[in-house]
């Protein structure tokens, strides 16, 4: 079984096909790049410009599959959040203003 990968981030820069592909491999940003994950072997296979490398899954920071269904998962939409009314608390009796001060004169009051 192979899972097509859209993005793969690894711990060190990848040099492939005469190019520095950096740590972030993205098939949408590099035309001709393919990334597949073989879960049975626990490796990623990256091909680019006629060259291929194998990356062990321990060297991967994270990866994003092309299709979530390849992982055997189905996303369900979250239920809408409940609206919680905000209660306004009236000011306590006797507190109608606050003291105001400035750096030159201190508090006024």
The Cα 74–Cα 60 span in angstroms is 24
The Cα 15–Cα 27 span in angstroms is 15
Domain-embedded: residue 14: yes
Domain-embedded: residue 42: yes
- Residue 3's CB is within 10 A of a number of other CB atoms, namely 16
**For the whole model, what pTM was predicted?**
0.65
Domain-embedded: residue 76: no
Domain-embedded: residue 101: no
The Cα 15–Cα 18 span in angstroms is 7
Domain-embedded: residue 74: no
Tell me: pLDDT of 31 over 80: yes
Domain-embedded: residue 21: yes
Look up the domain containing 53 and give its range: 3-68
Domain-embedded: residue 13: yes
How many domains would you assign to the chain? 1
| pLDDT band at residue 84 under the 50/70/90 scheme | confident
| pLDDT band at residue 74 under the 50/70/90 scheme | confident
When the pLDDT of each residue in the chain is averaged and rounded to a whole number, the result is 85
Burial of 8 (0-12, 13-18, 19+ CB in 10 A): buried
Domain-embedded: residue 88: no
Tell me: pLDDT of 71 over 90: no
């Amino acid at each position: 079984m192979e899972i097509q990968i859209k993005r793969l981030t690894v711990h060190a820069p990848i040099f492939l096909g005469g190019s520095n592909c950096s740590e972030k491999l993205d098939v949408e940003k590099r035309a001709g790049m393919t990334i597949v994950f073989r879960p049975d072997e626990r490796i990623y296979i990256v091909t680019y410009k006629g060259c291929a490398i194998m990356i062990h899954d321990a060297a991967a920071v994270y990866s994003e599959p092309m299709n979530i269904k390849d992982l055997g998962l189905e996303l369900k939409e979250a239920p809408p959040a409940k609206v919680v009314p905000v209660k306004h608390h009236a000011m306590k009796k006797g507190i109608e203003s606050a003291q105001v001060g400035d750096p030159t004169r201190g508090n006024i009051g």
